[in-house]
Amino acid sequence: MGAGDRQFDEIYRAHRADLFRLAVLICGDRTRSEDAVAEVFAKVLPRWRAGAVLERPQQYLRRALVNELSGGFRRQALERRTAAKQWGDDRGRMAFDAEISEHDRMAAALATLPVVQRAVLVLRYYVDLSEAEIATLLDVPQGTVKSRAARAMARLRELLDEETVDA
């Protein structure tokens, strides 16, 4: 086993659970999350084998994960809609499930946001990063982070207010 593989094993063990939780919070699906995390590690492996050294592997992996989820979700949107229609327990009933609890209402509202907006919220409120840190991690201007967060929060407020009125 080469140095790249040894580095891979160490970093995989250290970050697999952290990345998985991040992915589930962003996409809401365990299977997709495992797929995305696996793909991220598979993509980074050749770099390590080529001798690259990652000074901040956690940041690199998190960025790769968000990119993977964003790209993957664009491709998989149709597939998810098809699958949801097929299986009886997911046939478009989330709107009503959302009445059941506060937690579920919030989760249902979050699920309507684009992946990039959810990623910003998860990094801000779960990982507890500042806007500047999120901008560095995602490699986007800080203004982009600020506007994504603002749009996401506005949309959440709008959805939660609508449900309160409906109830």
Partner 1 sequence: MPDPDLDDRLRELFEEDARDLEPSDRLDDLVRQLREQRIRRRRWAARGLATVAVVATVAVTSAVLRSPDRPASVVAGTSRGDDETLFLVAGGSLPEGFELLATSGGNTPGVRIGRGTGTWDRTQRWVRFDAAHEHPVEVIDIQWRASKVLRDDVRSMEEQGWVERQSGAGSERGSVVRVTGHVARGHPDGMGSPDGSEAPLPPEVLRQVLDDLTPRAPDGFALARAPDGFELVGEWSGRAEAGTNRRLVAYGESNLRGFQLEIVDDSERPLSMSLDDSTVRLVTVRGNEGIVAPHNLGSENRFDPSVLFLSDITASVMWVEPGGELVTITAAGMTEDEVLAIADDLEVVDADTWFALHGPDGVDPSGSLPSSTTVVFP
Which residues here bind partner 1, judged by CB under 8 A?
A: 8, 12, 16-17, 20-21, 24-25, 28-31, 33-35, 37-39, 41-42, 45-46, 79, 82-84, 86-90, 93-94, 96-97, 99-104, 106-107, 110, 121-122, 125-126, 153, 156-157
Of 52, 54, 60, 41, give the one whose Cα is nearest residue 2. Answer: 52
Of 145, 155, 158, give the one whose Cα is nearest residue 119. Answer: 145
Report in angstroms how near the CB of residue 102 gets to partner 1 at its nearest. Answer: 8
Nearer to partner 1, 38 or 140 (CB): 38
C-alpha 37/C-alpha 43 separation (Å) is 10
Of 148, 157, 133, 12, give the one whose Cα is nearest residue 70. Answer: 148
For the beta carbon of residue 74, count every other beta carbon within 10 angstroms: 11
Nearer to partner 1, 48 or 138 (CB): 48
Nearer to partner 1, 44 or 138 (CB): 44
Report in angstroms how near the CB of residue 15 gets to partner 1 at its nearest. Answer: 11
Nearer to partner 1, 46 or 141 (CB): 46
Report in angstroms how near the CB of residue 166 gets to partner 1 at its nearest. Answer: 12
Report in angstroms how near the CB of residue 70 gets to partner 1 at its nearest. Answer: 19
Helix extents (H) in the chain: 3-27, 30-49, 57-86, 94-97, 102-111, 115-125, 131-138, 142-166
Report in angstroms how near the CB of residue 62 gets to partner 1 at its nearest. Answer: 14
Of 110, 74, 77, give the one whose Cα is nearest residue 94. Answer: 110
